[in-house]
Amino acid sequence: MALLPSKSLVFTVRRQEAELVVPCEPTPHECKPLSDIDDQEGHRFHVRGFHFHQSNLSMKGQDPAKVIKEALAKALVFYYPFAGRLREGPNRKLIVDCTGEGVLFIEADADVSLVDFGDELYPPFPCAEELLYDVPGSNGLLNSPLLLIQVTRLKCGGFIFAHRFNHTMGDGTGLSQFMTAVGEIARGALAPSTPPVWERHLLSARDAPLITYQHEEYSHNTSSPENGTIILADNLVCRSFLFRQSHISSLRRFVPHNLRCSTFDILSACLWRCRTKALELDPNEDVRLICIVNARFKFNPPLPLGYYGNALGFPAASSNIGNLTQNPLEYALKLVKQAKTKVTEEYMKSTMDLLVTRGRPNVKLARSYIVSDLTRAKFKDIDFGWGEAVLVGPETCWELISFYIPSKNKKGDDEIIVPVCLPASAMKNFVKELEDMLKDEPTVHADI
């Protein structure tokens, strides 16, 4: 584990006025309900992400902002719901009013080069609020643009593509699919290679709802707050950690030879255990690890290729804190593996039924840690003509969730960057816990 150093880079961004980009051809004006997985409480926010692109000699003289804006207008013909606005119907049901009003687009320039960000790009990114400007009055859930894109040109000829995306419209896989379509059209395609599929009824509750799982990941009482510890937002520190293949191999020494596990399994178990120990919570309390699982292929037949809505399950592993922190890593690892196996077609149907019968509750946040694997979302493969991104990741770190961000070193070896946000005292404990588990591996120290 390498603790990546803090950044103090400061630069100036000059923005043009935000404009609305509309589909370049007429599109249907209709109302399209979201699925019951889409419009749950936990999706009712905007996701913010950054794509860092190098200069490319073959694109010399081309303006990335102009190229992307024109491709966006063409892609919206196929993905026209993104150009609409959300309305809320009875029982909080969200519906897309396909008005064709468009998505927000900002063109900008920064007096900085990609190399100035250093050898490693990772959250939290410097000057993030300037690289993705929140246009006043644009970030509401309802009656607001569903997508905002800012393209910031850099001195070196590279650029930063930043987006703010209404999560109810789709998950990481769906957003990646849309951005891939924009990239294909930017490179000359007439249509996306994967046609978009709406079909949100496939993830809507049954006519006779039937909850067949316990669903301990969801709040069962929407009218009263949860009991238990929630991290206080005071004195929070956001840091990123780099895990090389050698670090994952080192963690595997804690795993019995007959226990098969993925990189996600062992990394999640390690982070959950170290984070829980670092927080020094009451050992008699219970804690949860919520895994975000892509359920597209859990259905029979699988969801159609091109489905770009949310298809996520949130299975939870839970444990008494004392058991989690005092037992070997194998204990946490088995809980993570068991949680992932919960996500089946019936589990997803039961989830939909729970959401509509209980007022679309949020996942439980008290005593929870959420992990989301972005290594398979293919964001890095998105190519607007300048090649794939050097790095793609969320804007910053969040208190209760860590994203697994794919990266490569100079040799081309796969690595994983994990942003973590904790109170300052807990962050020191967290680093020590990780170092103790990886004491045979070199670490990079930095001030916390």
Q: Which of 21, 53, 50 is nearest to 385 (CA)?
A: 53
| Helix, strand, coil distribution of the chain in percent, nearest 5 | 30, 25, 45
Q: Which residues 6+ apart lie within 8 Å of 92 measured at CB? A: 39, 359, 360
In the annotation, is 171 catalytic? Answer: no
Phi, psi of 415 (to 5 degrees): -135, 165
Closest CA to 392 of 401, 383, 220: 383
Amino acid at 165: F
Set 43, 167, 215, 247: catalytic member: 167
Burial class (CB in 10 A: 0-12, 13-18, 19+), 227: exposed
H and E: helices and strands count for the chain:
9, 19
Element spanning 363, H or E: none
Q: How many CB atoms lie within 10 A of CB 441?
A: 17
Q: In the annotation, is 97 catalytic? A: no
Helix (H) or strand (E) holding 268, with range, is helix 263-279
Active site residues: 167, 383
